[in-house]
């Protein structure tokens, strides 16, 4: 699916959002009523980086 040209804008945004240390970060917590935040906002995010890296490598 990532080869689909309709993904180009999303790929560009994800590439721009990647930190210099190779991680991505959550800008905010969207689930304030959830039991747990997966990643701390504004910090290198292991969970979000794992998910995005998997998507970008396919």
Task: Rounding to the nearest 10 degrees, give the CA dihedral for residues 26, 4, 1, 46.
Answer: -20
Q: What is residue 34's predicted lDDT score, i.e. its pLDDT?
A: 63
Backbone angles phi, psi at 43, to 5 degrees: -120, 155
Decide: 30 and 51 in contact? Cβ < 8 Å. Answer: no
Q: Provide the whole-model pTM.
A: 0.70
Q: What is the pLDDT of residues 3-49, one digit of tens each?
A: 889 989 999 999 999 999 999 998 877 666 666 767 887 889 998 89
Alpha-helical runs (H) found in 6-45: 8-17
Q: What is residue 42's predicted lDDT score, i.e. its pLDDT?
A: 84
Backbone angles phi, psi at 24, to 5 degrees: -110, 165
Decide: 25 and 19 in contact? Cβ < 8 Å. Answer: yes
């Amino acid at each position: 699916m990532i080869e689909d040209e309709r993904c180009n804008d999303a790929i560009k945004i994800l590439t721009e959002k990647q930190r210099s240390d190779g991680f991505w970060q959550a800008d905010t917590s969207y689930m304030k009523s959830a039991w747990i935040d997966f990643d701390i906002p504004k910090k290198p995010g292991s969970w979000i980086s794992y998910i995005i890296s998997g998507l970008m490598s396919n």
